[in-house]
Amino acid sequence: MTPTIELLKSHRSIRKFTDQPLSRALLETLIEAGQAAATSSHVQAYSVIHVKNPDNRARIAELAGGQSYVATCGAFLVFCADMKRPTEAAERTGARVVRGMTEQLLVASVDTALMAQNVAVAAESEGLGICYIGGIRNNPQAISELLALPDQVFPVFGMCLGYPAHAPDVKPRLPVAAILKEDRYHDDQAAVEAYDAAMQAYYQSRKGGAKATTWSQNLTPLFDTKLRPHMHDFLVARGFEMK
Amino acid sequence: MTPTIELLKSHRSIRKFTDQPLSRALLETLIEAGQAAATSSHVQAYSVIHVKNPDNRARIAELAGGQSYVATCGAFLVFCADMKRPTEAAERTGARVVRGMTEQLLVASVDTALMAQNVAVAAESEGLGICYIGGIRNNPQAISELLALPDQVFPVFGMCLGYPAHAPDVKPRLPVAAILKEDRYHDDQAAVEAYDAAMQAYYQSRKGGAKATTWSQNLTPLFDTKLRPHMHDFLVARGFEMK
């Protein structure tokens, strides 16, 4: 196993940070590492907003569902899917651009995620901790206004970065036998049941707060309501019409 | 700069591979490294199909637009967004599950991309080369049938892995000043124009085939037609209704 694989396997979300900020040079290094990820047809359909304004960070912490570490981490980034830059660049060369295709939403979301994951890995290699903030999709319209995001750009997730002030356990993942399938999809209910037992044991023994639920039980709040039902209309309003 | 960041910055797509296959043990190590990536609410909404059947690999190579290295690389993986496993797990605990939300499409696509990028980084740290295959979205229905993908599962992209048999140049990326913005979105047309010149110079000087176009010019075929117009109806048919 390479040192890089050991690093990848040591990932856990960090939510408590020291006061030490990130230098601008380090932040640029991380973004460059992010940009080195693969990108669909080299379109590089992303922008990253580095939120420095303390009032905006406090406001985003609230809008993301009361995640105070958005305000207190060393640096807070909002990763945006950006189809504005490439579509306008094509238009300036004379292309008649079609917008709002479902495929464009996928391309931009995937490009943004690949790039962000490289930023996360680069940051952790530098001794930083990170935490993705999907909660910015709780209130994407308000956050888009705060960051002056134009049409064809939307916030996919945020990321807290900083020097860790705690060391939580690494959370067990599903068995590889459930995830990796040969030639054809197969059901993996038995693996899920084994994993439910493993997660329950983990929750009972972990540092920083015991609970006794299984993985399957924890999924209920994700699926028994219309999760973030505003996302469809929000995306359409930003020019991602999913045609 | 850490060795891991140097590795990230050395990424380029590899499309020529030696005959050496990947061992099963290495493949499992890579998938485990992938699974260590962050996942939205720990939902782990992905499955990976390892396509071993040579006929199916040849067929996917065609369906992806004639990408022969899909058939010849050391291992070919199809990364699938998978909402079947978590929704059914929640149902077994008694949850009344809502499917087809736009947010669920985003969560599953992003989870899959974060996971895949860790696999890519892990593979490159082991001396392998990789190439993402977005072309599987050219014919996602046929590929889904070939891999027996059920409802609530769709192929986001493929990935070729193997031991490299060529060493292409690293392709320049947009200036970091275009990607990284402080507090508010700002236009980056000037940076794009500088980048167009840099890409034109790169294409003229690179190993393995000169061309003279700019980045902006290269984007025209992506945007002047309805790119993969089947994706909307395909996703709806697989249970991703984008409500």
**Nearest chain B CA: its distance from A8 CA (Å):** 6
Residue A220 domain-assigned? yes
Q: Which residues of A touch B214 (CB under 8 A)?
A: 93
- Of all residues in chain A, the one with the smallest CA distance to B27 is A180
Distance between CA atoms of A243 and B230, rounded to whole angstroms?
9
Range of the domain at A203: 169-226
Percentage with pLDDT > 90 across chain B: 96
Q: What is the band of B241 on the pLDDT scale with cuts at 50, 70, 90?
A: very high
Q: pLDDT at residue B208 above 90? A: no
Residues A150 and A30 in one domain: yes
Host H or E run for residue A181: strand A180-182
Residue B235 domain-assigned? no
**Nearest chain A CA: its distance from B199 CA (Å):** 11
Residues B105 and B187 in one domain: no
Residues A157 and A173 in one domain: no
Q: Report which of A35, A32, A152 is spatially closest to residue A89, judged by C-alpha positions.
A: A152
Instruction: Name which of A96, A107, A125 is nearest B2 (Cβ-Cβ).
Output: A125
**Nearest chain B CA: its distance from A65 CA (Å):** 14
A109 and B104 within 8 Å at the Cβ level: the answer is no
Q: Report which of B123, B118, B119, B121 is spatially closest to residue B22, judged by C-alpha positions.
A: B123
Q: Is the pLDDT higher at B73 or at B209? A: B73
Residues A53 and A83 in one domain: yes
Residues B156 and B174 in one domain: no
| Domain final residue, candidates B168, B201, B219 | B168
Count Cβ–Cβ pairs < 8 Å, chain A vs chain B. 359
Host H or E run for residue A65: none
Contact criterion met (CB below 8 Å) for A10 and A167: no
Residues B119 and B36 in one domain: yes
DSSP-assigned letter for residue B139: S
Instruction: Name which of B95, B106, B157 is nearest A224 (Cβ-Cβ).
Output: B95
B148 and A185 within 8 Å at the Cβ level: the answer is yes
What are the C-alpha distances in Å from A238 to residues A155, A234, B47?
Answer: 11, 6, 30
Q: Which residues of A touch B223 (CB under 8 A)?
A: 86-87, 90, 95, 97-99
If one counts every other C-beta atom within 10 angstroms of the C-beta of residue A58, the result is: 14
The pLDDT of residue A3: 98
Contact criterion met (CB below 8 Å) for A178 and A168: no
Contacts of residue B170, Cβ cutoff 8 Å, sequence gap at least 6: A36, B9, B10, B11, B12
The pLDDT of residue B85: 98
Distance between CA atoms of A42 and B222, rounded to whole angstroms?
10
Q: Which residues of A touch B43 (CB under 8 A)?
A: 219, 222
Grouping H, G, I as helix, E, B as strand and the rest as coil, residue B197 is helix
- Of all residues in chain B, the one with the smallest CA distance to A177 is B28
Residue A221 domain-assigned? yes
Residue A231 domain-assigned? no
What are the C-alpha distances in Å from B136 to residues A230, B120, B235?
Answer: 30, 18, 14
Q: What is the band of B71 on the pLDDT scale with cuts at 50, 70, 90?
A: very high
Q: What is the band of B106 on the pLDDT scale with cuts at 50, 70, 90?
A: very high
Residue B234 domain-assigned? no
Residues B192 and B76 in one domain: no
All residue ranges of chain A with pLDDT < 70 are 208-209
Contact criterion met (CB below 8 Å) for B151 and B161: no
Backbone angles phi, psi at A157, to 5 degrees: -160, 165
Q: Which residues of B touch A2 (CB under 8 A)?
A: 122, 125-126
If one counts every other C-beta atom within 10 angstroms of the C-beta of residue A239, the result is: 18
Residues B50 and B146 in one domain: yes
| Domain final residue, candidates A168, A186, A216 | A168
Residues B154 and B173 in one domain: no
Distance between CA atoms of B175 and B172, rounded to whole angstroms?
9
**Nearest chain A CA: its distance from B146 CA (Å):** 8
pTM for the predicted model, two decimal places: 0.98
What are the C-alpha distances in Å from A134 to residues A38, A113, A231, A240, B133?
Answer: 22, 12, 12, 19, 26
Residues B36 and B105 in one domain: yes
| Domain final residue, candidates B150, B168, B186 | B168
| Max Cα distance, chain A (Å) | 62
What are the C-alpha distances in Å from A14 to residues A17, A128, B35, B98?
Answer: 8, 9, 17, 31
Residue A117 domain-assigned? yes
Host H or E run for residue A61: helix A54-63
The pLDDT of residue A206: 83
The pLDDT of residue A208: 67
| Residue A7's CATH number | 3.40.109.10
Contact criterion met (CB below 8 Å) for A184 and B49: yes
Residues B83-96 have a mean pLDDT of 97
Measure the CA dihedral B142/B148/B152/B155, to 10°: -50
Distance between CA atoms of B48 and B230, rounded to whole angstroms?
23
Grouping H, G, I as helix, E, B as strand and the rest as coil, residue B74 is coil
Residues B43-61 have a mean pLDDT of 98
Residue B240 domain-assigned? no
Q: What is the band of B206 on the pLDDT scale with cuts at 50, 70, 90?
A: confident
- Of all residues in chain B, the one with the smallest CA distance to A116 is B114
Q: Which amino acid is at B135?
A: G
B35 and A228 within 8 Å at the Cβ level: the answer is no
Residues B211 and B130 in one domain: no
Residue A233 domain-assigned? no
Contacts of residue B123, Cβ cutoff 8 Å, sequence gap at least 6: B30, B129, B130, B161
What are the C-alpha distances in Å from B189 to residues A41, A45, B24, B176, B222?
Answer: 20, 14, 47, 13, 19
Residues B109-128 have a mean pLDDT of 98
Q: How far is CA A20 from the centre of its chain?
A: 23
Contact criterion met (CB below 8 Å) for A120 and A93: no
B103 and A229 within 8 Å at the Cβ level: the answer is yes
**Nearest chain B CA: its distance from A185 CA (Å):** 6
Our count of domains for chain B comes to 2
- What's the token pair of residue A165? 């002030």
Residues B51 and B66 in one domain: yes
